[in-house]
Amino acid sequence: MLLRIAVQAKGRLFDETMTMLSESSIKIESSKRTLLVPAKNFPVEILYLRDDDIPQAVASGIADVGIVGENEYEERQEEADIIKRLDFSKCRISLAIPNAKVPEYDQMGLKWFDGKKIATSYPGILKKFLDKNGIKSDIHVITGSVEIAPGIGLADCIFDIVSSGSTLVSNNLKEVEIVMKSEAVLIGNKNICAEKKEILNELLFRFDSYKNAEGKKYVVLNIPNDKIAAATELLPGMKAPTVTKLETEGWSSLASVLEEKHFWEIIGKLKQLGAEGILVMPIEKMIL
Ligand code: PRP
Ligand code: ZN
């Protein structure tokens, strides 16, 4: 029995989804990108779809689980559950208006959108937001290149995905209201059988091990014995650092785990304590 995972065939989530699978030691032959590809060494198969179609595919049981943007899941309102937030492909779904209209907007606030034509691929999420705020706009649905709509006179403004913001900048638009924050999520069919659930649990375990190791480094260093306590405070590790006596009198070797984002700050402090011979190594997986 194979657990069938629906994945975006290309686009925003594709690369990171594939990285997560391969870092979880799930080998998928990428050469022949047919619609349905079984993994070589794990009981899953990958179903490549357009992201808009993934929530429905999961709800109907065509796929058991799917990896999709939360915005897409929210928009489709299909009967599927969010099993896990995956912490990648983060973005916002925002209202953006032409730069020239910003002074007007600053005066009026959300009321500015009353009677305006808004281009979007997410009419459901937008309508909910407008209704909640008592605003009546004309929602104009387009499936791609939403950002060019105001420039060509197709709409007054847009409601779209913003990630780096560079698409808005190059189209002279300004993000004025964040309606929703989104990231990749793993969604699941509501009636997965016990056997597939077991495969799913193993999959989740592997995703976790990969995520836990992400951004973490293994550090080994030499430290004077009277500084071990201070160094331990800087490097708490998973439980506590490993301390081994060195042959050199008065010195120990200390090994621990360090978060990359605090790397330089902590290394600096360790050097001040007198740490020497600091080795930093990548961590591939981390089982807590
Ligand atoms: C989204 C959105 C913008 C772009 C914004 O498109 O429609 O075009 O990303 O990203 P930025 O803020 O980093 O410039 P996406 O790549 O998801 O493709 P699609 O909307 O055409 O499916
Ligand atoms: Zn786009």
**Which ligand 1 atom is nearest residue 121's CA?**
20
Residue 32 is predicted with a pLDDT of 60
Give me the tens of pLDDT residue by residue for the chain, a chain 288 residues long: 999 999 999 888 999 999 999 999 999 987 566 799 999 999 999 999 999 999 999 999 999 999 999 999 999 999 999 999 999 999 999 999 999 999 999 999 999 999 999 999 999 999 999 999 999 999 999 998 999 999 999 999 999 999 999 999 999 999 999 999 999 999 999 999 999 999 999 999 999 999 888 889 999 999 999 999 999 999 877 788 899 999 999 999 999 999 888 889 999 999 999 999 999 999 988 888
Q: How many CB atoms lie within 10 A of CB 285?
A: 14
- Answer whether 15 contacts ligand 1 (Cβ < 6 A): no
- Answer whether 11 contacts ligand 1 (Cβ < 6 A): yes
Residue 29 is predicted with a pLDDT of 82
Instruction: Identify which ligand lies nearest to the alpha carbon of 11.
Output: 1
CA 224 to ligand 1 center in whole angstroms: 53
Residue 237 is predicted with a pLDDT of 79
Tracing tokens 């459901």 back to the chain, one arrives at 124
C-alpha–C-alpha distance, residues 43 and 168, integer Å? 42
- Answer whether 51 contacts ligand 1 (Cβ < 6 A): no
**Residue whose CA is at the smallest distance from ligand 1 atom 15:** 12
**278 touches 267 (CB < 8 A):** yes
266 to each of 188, 216, 232, 253, 260, how far by Cα in Å?
40, 13, 11, 17, 10
- Answer whether 167 contacts ligand 1 (Cβ < 6 A): yes
Instruction: Identify which ligand lies nearest to the alpha carbon of 169.
Output: 1
**7 touches 49 (CB < 8 A):** yes
- Answer whether 80 contacts ligand 1 (Cβ < 6 A): no
- Answer whether 165 contacts ligand 1 (Cβ < 6 A): yes
Angle between the N-to-C axes of helices 194-213 and 14-23, in degrees from 0 to 180, rounded to the nearest 10 = 100
- Answer whether 143 contacts ligand 1 (Cβ < 6 A): no
CA 163 to ligand 2 center in whole angstroms: 10
- Answer whether 77 contacts ligand 1 (Cβ < 6 A): no
CA 248 to ligand 1 center in whole angstroms: 58
